[in-house]
């Protein structure tokens, strides 16, 4: 990734690469797609990204996981994959984990409870 691109330009490039809407505010939330969660995780872990892009993509992964939890679409296997992803990438995700874990309302933000459980027991599934 070119170091001379602005954060906005980097986000535009990321949006184009993933076929998502470009929006500078709440990008991860607006583009959340629980059906693409595994694709976003794979992209996060296999693509060379600028720090700004990694930050935004981490938010997209967590927003998509939250929406999957709201829709009750995360079975035990997907929950364990999410927990493993978070464990592998905790350092780069920590600020986003802190944000999502701090949200109130289990019905609207079930990811918060899942992340808090992972903080206490990193080996447990997120659900």
pLDDT tens digit sequence for 21-59: 999 999 999 999 999 999 999 999 999 999 999 999 999
Which residue in 117, 49, 77, 5 sits closest to 60, CA to CA?
A: 49
Cα separation, 114 vs 127, in Å, equals 5
Query: Does residue 25 contact residue 67 with C-beta atoms inside 8 Å?
Result: no
Q: Domain coordinates of the chain in residue numbers?
A: 7-120
Phi, psi angles (nearest 5°) of residue 28: -65, -40
Classify residue 35 by its DSSP letter: G
**What global pTM score does this model have?**
0.90
Q: What is the pLDDT of residues 57-113, one digit of tens each?
A: 999 999 999 999 999 988 888 889 999 999 999 999 999 999 999 988 778 899 998
Tallying the residues shown for the chain, one arrives at: 127
Cα separation, 101 vs 117, in Å, equals 10
């Amino acid at each position: 990734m070119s170091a001379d691109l602005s954060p906005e330009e980097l986000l535009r490039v990321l949006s184009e690469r993933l076929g998502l809407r470009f929006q500078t505010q709440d990008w991860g939330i607006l583009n959340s797609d629980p059906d693409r969660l595994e694709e976003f995780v794979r992209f996060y872990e296999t693509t060379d990204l600028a720090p700004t892009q990694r930050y935004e993509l981490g938010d997209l992964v967590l927003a998509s996981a939250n929406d999957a939890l709201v829709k009750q679409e995360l079975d035990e296997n997907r929950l364990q994959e999410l927990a493993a992803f978070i464990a592998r990438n905790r350092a780069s995700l920590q600020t986003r984990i802190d944000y999502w874990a701090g949200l109130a309302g289990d019905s609207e933000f079930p990811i918060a409870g899942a992340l808090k459980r992972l903080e206490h027991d990193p080996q447990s599934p997120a659900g």
